[in-house]
Structures are given as C-alpha cells and as structure tokens.
Amino acid sequence: MATGSSITLLAALSFFWGTNWPFMKIALSEIPVWWFRTLCLFGGGFSLLAISYFSGQRVRLTVWEVPRLVLCAFFGVLGWHLFSAYGVSQMPAGRASIIAFTMPVWAAVLARIILGEPLTKLKLISLALGISGLAILIGPDLMDLQAAPMGTLLMLCAALTWGTGTVFFKKFQWSASTTALTGWQLSLAGVPIAIGAFFFQPPPDWSQISNQAYFSLAYVLALPMIFCQWAYLRSVRTFPASLAAISTLGVPVIGTYSSALILDEPVGFQEFGALVLVCMALATVLVIPALKGRSNS
C-alpha cells in the first residue's frame, strides 16, 4: 500500500525524470551519445557509491549478487541508456519520452510471467487509462513517427529493456543498500559504454561545449541520474514491480510539457487530455488503495 511519503517520492521521481528529456536533448545536441552516457553513468554511479559508503550503508556485494546485478545492469541501465540516448537524438524529446514510457506495459506482463504478480483489476484499469493517455499524445503524430522509424524502434527497445531490468531487480534478494545497488549498476554499465566511447566516437572538444549544454549535463547527472535512479529502484524494492513501473506513467506527460516550455515543442488539448488520464491512472493504483487502507484501519 502506498503511503504519503512514498507517493511524494514517486511525484518527485515523475517530475525530475520528466524534465530530464528536454535537458538531455540539449546536451546531446553538442555531446556525442557515448561520451554523454559515460559521464552520466560514472558520475552518477560513483556519487551514489560514495553517498552509500560515507552514510554507513552496506556497499559490498556478496559473490552470488555480482552476476545478478550484472544482469540487471545490462537490461535496466546499459540497454535503456544507449537505446534512449540514440532514440531521443532522432526525434522530438516529448514524443520520445511517450514511447519510452510504454515500459509499464512490458514490466506488468513480464512481472506476471517471471514473478507471478497478479494483474489485478486496478492495475489493468490503471494501465488502460495510462496507455489511453499516451495514445492521445502519440496518435495524431503517427506519420511523424513513420518518418523517423529508427527513433521509434530505439525507444521501444529502451522501454522493453528497462522493463526487463525492473523485473529482474525485483526477482532477486539483495544485501546491499538501494543506494549502493543503484551506484553499482550505473558503474557496471558505464564500463562497456566508456570502451565504446573510445572506439566509436572521437571525444568532443570540451572547450567548444556551450554553457547551456554543460548546465543540461549537470542537471541530468544530479537529478535524473542520481536521485531518480535511486528513487525508482527504491520503489521497485518497496512495491510490486508492476506497480512501481505503473507509477512512472506521469513522466512522459511532464516530459511533454517541459519540452514545450524549454524547447518550444508544441503543446495543446492533446497534452491536457493525456494529463487527466494519466493522473486518473496513477490515482487508481496509488491513491485509491491508500484511502481504502485508511478506511479499514
């Protein structure tokens, strides 16, 4: 059951992950994908490991946890970050976030198959409302998506790999803290991406990067990478995997509005209708059960 503090955490997660998209678009306009992701993953990973260590939390992994964490990092971090970075570089940031956050559908299905989590009536209603909201946003732009099929395919791959990583992370038991586990996943995924950066792309001329791109990089690193990555895995450890995934449905709506504000991408009645439906979806699985719990206590 979601408490007031957990709902506040999920609200902050949705806001900062939503505003991540326009800032990521700005940074990627000047910083190559592989170098951008290397900075984000190592910067976020090392920061979270340091926070965990200096706050007295358990950082060390047991032998049997290492391969499991590598599996989670491969899907939930490596696949997600590469696919989403390339995808958002080839299409509008708001629309990219909409496709990426079909993730709750894949996570709910995989959680049913792998974890045996029930697809309750409230979860199904919430998914239906949330996907309907996303459909309102994406429906009139199908021609645009067909004009950029590779961007669409990459964002769908990002959604699928993220959902898979979410379910695997929920499947296993962990001895380390959530902060340390998040830091390890980011750092592990950063290794192959850093190698790819050296082999596939020349390093950028850092003296030619604009202050706007540097600010965007700092924003992505501090909030979406450090806070949001931790907050999401915290919610996965607290809630069923499908519920944690559904709680991210608000992110693409915020991504669309923030992209309109920051990048002047168009926004109108479609976005408002989507916002209403997504809020109803979140209320279905977060607020209603909490209210029922209070009334029964």
Task: Look at residues 176, 167, 153 and name the one whose alpha carbon lies nearest to residue 62.
Answer: 176
Q: For residues 246 and 64, is the Cβ–Cβ distance under 8 A?
A: no
**Lowest mean pLDDT across 113-117, 119-123, 267-271, 291-295:** 291-295
Alpha-carbon dihedral sign for residues 213, 214, 219, 220: positive
Tell me which residue range forms the domain holding 78.
4-296
Cβ-based neighbours of 32, under 8 Å, separated by 6 or more: 197, 201, 202, 204
- Find how far residue 224's CA is from the centre of its chain: 8
Q: Can you give the pLDDT at residue 71?
A: 96
Average pLDDT over the chain, rounded to an integer: 85
Q: Can you give the pLDDT at residue 290?
A: 56
pLDDT in tens, 157-203: 998 999 999 999 999 999 999 999 999 999 999 999 999 999 988 99
Residue 47 has pLDDT above 70, yes or no: yes
Task: Look at residues 165, 15, 12 and name the one whose alpha carbon lies nearest to residue 82.
Answer: 165
Total domains present in the chain? 1
Q: Can you give the pLDDT at residue 296?
A: 58
**Lowest mean pLDDT across 12-21, 88-97, 111-120, 177-186:** 88-97
Q: For residues 9 and 231, is the Cβ–Cβ distance under 8 A?
A: yes
Alpha-carbon dihedral sign for residues 218, 161, 114, 289: positive
Pairwise CA distance, residues 166 & 48, whole Å: 19
pLDDT in tens, 109-154: 889 889 998 888 888 888 888 778 777 766 655 555 555 567 778 8
Task: Look at residues 54, 162, 167, 160 and name the one whose alpha carbon lies nearest to residue 115.
Answer: 167
Q: Can you give the pLDDT at residue 75?
A: 95
Q: How many CA atoms lie within 13 A of 109 on its CB side?
A: 9
pLDDT in tens, 225-264: 999 999 999 999 888 887 788 778 778 778 888 988 998 8
